[in-house]
């Protein structure tokens, strides 16, 4: 994975984003199962490239929405 070592995860992700989504995930899974002989590089690929592609980017807005719903005051009850 010379591209990861030379260009960083952004360069690899940029290249993978040119693939159709199904092929991109298939390629990532193939690399993860490849048994690449450099465990550190494979782990970097797994965490920095594969995880966002396979599981999607983190969604911080979900936590913000949940927090806003918890802190929103209840409307007064009508009698």
Cβ atoms < 10 Å from Cβ of 15: 14
pLDDT at site 47: 92
pLDDT of residue 38: 86
Least confident of 17-21, 34-38, 63-67, 73-77: 63-67
pLDDT in tens, 1-52: 666 667 888 888 889 999 998 899 999 999 999 988 888 888 999 999 999 9
| Residues near 44 by beta carbon (within 8 Å), at least 6 away in sequence | 4, 9
C-alpha triplet 32, 38, 39: angle, nearest 5°? 65
Task: Please determine, for residue 60, whether its predicted confidence score (pLDDT) is greater than 90.
Answer: no
For position 46, what pLDDT does the model report? Answer: 92
**CB-side neighbour CA atoms (13 Å) of 9:** 14
């Amino acid at each position: 994975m010379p591209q990861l070592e030379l260009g960083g995860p952004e360069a690899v992700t940029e290249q993978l984003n040119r693939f159709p989504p199904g092929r991109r995930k298939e390629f990532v899974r193939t690399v993860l199962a490849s048994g690449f002989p450099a465990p550190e590089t494979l782990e970097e690929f797994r965490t920095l490239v594969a995880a966002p592609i396979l599981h999607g980017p983190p969604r911080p807005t979900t936590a913000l929405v949940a927090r806003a719903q918890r802190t929103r005051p209840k409307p007064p009850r009508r009698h």
